[in-house]
Amino acid sequence: MQCSGLMNREPVFKCKECGNSGLYREERYDWFQPLVGSLECRCGKTNDDAAIRTYKLTTRRIEANELVDCHYFGRRIADEEVNKTIDDLFEEVQCEYCLENAKEEDWIDRPEEPNDIHGPYADNLEVYVRCAGCGREIEFGWDNPPSPLANILGVERCWVYPVECSDFDPTHCWPDNKYKERWIERGWHGKARDERQ
């Protein structure tokens, strides 16, 4: 399969450090999940919950997919959670006694209603292309221009154009934001230039 808009030649990558010919795309992002926890009142003071807490669980995730023909998604090769944090804890208390004597395992947590406007969602998206042999970062461009929606909603721009791939042409792609100034300094034209204007 060939990339649209590129010359009809087989894309080739060979790492200048380790000689490997494979590439993968790595995504690092925060996954936010609003949660509601309820605590049963066991002393009989109230027929309602003793307490309700609302908080946001943040999970830092790393996913990686192999790149087929240097440009498009292949099979998933990694999916891991590297860190979890809890933020914005809020409690509504009906029974102080049960709250003070509760253990963490006494709480029953559930996701907020799926139609809730605040979640779940992804943010702080970072994308890298790496050599499959040594993990070296490879500079790349996108088939579509950068969009705020890609970060806020997790919308994927699926085609990537690694600079070290044999069919790379900067006039057929937009630089990833972290490489934008570098492309302009090199005098690369086309879509990199259009992005600057």
CA atoms within 13 A on the CB side of 63: 16
What pLDDT is stored for residue 158 in this prediction? 66
What pLDDT is stored for residue 74 in this prediction? 79
Segments of the chain scoring below 70 in pLDDT = 1-10, 88, 112-121, 146-158, 189-197
pTM equals 0.71
Query: What are the Cα distances from residue 168, in Å, to 70, 138, 160?
Result: 10, 12, 10
What pLDDT is stored for residue 81 in this prediction? 87
What pLDDT is stored for residue 7 in this prediction? 38
Strands (E), the chain: 23-39, 51-68, 72-93, 108-111, 121-131, 137-138, 140-142, 160-162, 174-175
What pLDDT is stored for residue 6 in this prediction? 38
